[in-house]
Amino acid sequence: MPRYAERTLGRQLAFQFLFSLEFVDTPWEQALAEFWHMEPNMLAETACAADEIPAAERPFADKGDLRKAKRYAKKLVQGVCENREDLDMRITASLDNWAPERVGRTEWVIVRLALYELLYGERTPETVVIAEAVQLTNIFGDIEAPRFVNGLLDKLTATLPDAATAGDGPDKAAP
């Protein structure tokens, strides 16, 4: 599987897990172990549009590469969980005329995940991160949500330090 495909699936798995954490009071490390036992890559099949192929079933996907996608998902999950307070503070500060509680959980989790990757990701161009976040929103969010997510992430990227958008943030080293 090409690297971009592993990351696409990894982001989807990370989103599914992070979204599920919104509804439980379990430490993320424990919940993640349980999450993998559910084969979450198969859970996304029902979330796809009729004409869309789930990421885990696309022609480039195979079981060996699913392990790489899971590793990437775990790295994203760990980073988001460890930096959640800072990420949420940045998101809240970027909301114009919106109270944080008005933002849907799906959209909030997707923006949180994308913001983590923008700040600490491994040299992934911001346009790719935003496009992937919008794609996740198209799959899992409300019909109007992609525009909101795109706009909020665009605003957030304007506030990021140059080092973060250039891929030189504190977590940029290879895994």
- Cα 162 off chain centre by: 21
Enter the DSSP assignment of 51: T
Q: Which residue among 39, 64, 82 closes a domain? A: 82
Instruction: Please report, for the chain, how many H helices and E strands are present, in that order.
Output: 9, 0
At 172 the pLDDT is: 41
Phi, psi of 53 (to 5 degrees): -95, 125
Range of the domain at 107: 84-175
At 60 the pLDDT is: 44
At 102 the pLDDT is: 87
Question: Does 83 score more than 90 pLDDT?
Answer: yes
For the chain, the domain total comes to 2
Enter the DSSP assignment of 124: -
Compute the distance between CA of residue 17 and CA of residue 100 in angstroms, rounded to an integer.
21
Compute the distance between CA of residue 151 and CA of residue 147 in angstroms, rounded to an integer.
6
Compute the distance between CA of residue 170 and CA of residue 155 in angstroms, rounded to an integer.
21
Q: Do 88 and 70 belong together in one domain?
A: no
pTM value is 0.80
Binned at pLDDT 50, 70 and 90, residue 33 comes out as: confident
Answer with the residue of higher pLDDT: 64 or 90: 90
Q: Write out the two tokens for 125.
A: 């161009």
- Cα 20 off chain centre by: 13
Binned at pLDDT 50, 70 and 90, residue 161 comes out as: confident
Closest CA to 2 of 67, 61, 64, 72: 61
Q: Do 42 and 88 belong together in one domain?
A: no
Answer with the residue of higher pLDDT: 97 or 54: 97
Compute the distance between CA of residue 122 and CA of residue 71 in angstroms, rounded to an integer.
14
Q: Do 61 and 147 belong together in one domain?
A: no
Q: Which residue among 66, 82, 98 closes a domain? A: 82
